[in-house]
Amino acid sequence: MTEAKPIKFKTADMAYTALFSVLIAVCSWISIPAVVPFTLQTFAVFCALGLLGGKRGTLSVLVYVILGAVGIPVFAGFTGGIGVLFGATGGYIMGFLCSALIYWLITRLFGNKTAVIVIAMLSGLLACYLLGTAWFMAVYAHSAGAVGLTAALGWCVLPFVIPDLVKIALAAVLTKKLAAYAGR
C-alpha cells in the first residue's frame, strides 16, 4: 500500500486563498437588490478559480462560504449566518462551491488552455444555476407555496445569463493576462 502524499500549502498559497476569499466577499457587497441580488460575486469566484487554479481557487470559495456560515457578513447585503445558506438564495452560494469543484476537475483533466478555462467556467455556472434554482424552488415552496420552473428561471436565472457571461469573459481574459503573477 502506498501512502498518500501530504498536501504542501505554502504561505503564499494561504495569502492568495485569503485574498480571494475577501475579494469574493467584497464583490458580493456590490449588489443590486432583487429576488436573487445582482452582484459581482460570480466574477470574483471565476477570477479566483482562473487565477489561483482549481485547488487554491476552490479553497478560497470554501473559506468564503465558511466565513458566511459562521455569521461573518460576507454575503450579499452584508448578511451572514447559516440561515442565509438555508434561505432561498443559499443554493446559489453553495453552487459557487460546486462551480469551483467542476472547474477544478475539468482543468485538471484537460489543462489550462483558454478554451478549457471558458468551458470549465461555463460548466460551473450551469451547475450553480441548477443547484441554486432547485434549492430556491424547494425553499420557496416550503415558505410561500409551490413555484413553477418557468417562474423560478424567470426570477433566478434568465436575468443573470448575459451579465454572468460577461463576467466569465472578463474573468477568462484576466486569467490569461494575470496568471503569471498569481503563481500559476
pTM for this prediction? 0.89
Contact 97, 58 (CB under 8 A): yes
Alpha-carbon span 98 to 174, nearest angstrom: 22
Number of domains in the chain: 1
The answer to whether residue 6 is domain-embedded is no
Tens of pLDDT, residues 110-157: 999 999 999 999 999 999 999 999 999 999 999 888 889 999 999 999
- What's 24's domain CATH number? 1.10.1760.20
Boundaries of domain holding 157: 11-182
Phi, psi for residue 182 in degrees, rounded to 5 = -95, 10
Tens of pLDDT, residues 14-71: 999 999 999 999 999 998 887 777 899 999 999 999 999 999 999 999 999 999 999 9
- If one counts every other C-beta atom within 10 angstroms of the C-beta of residue 78, the result is 11
The answer to whether residue 5 is domain-embedded is no
Q: How many angstroms separate the most distant Cα atoms in the chain?
A: 54
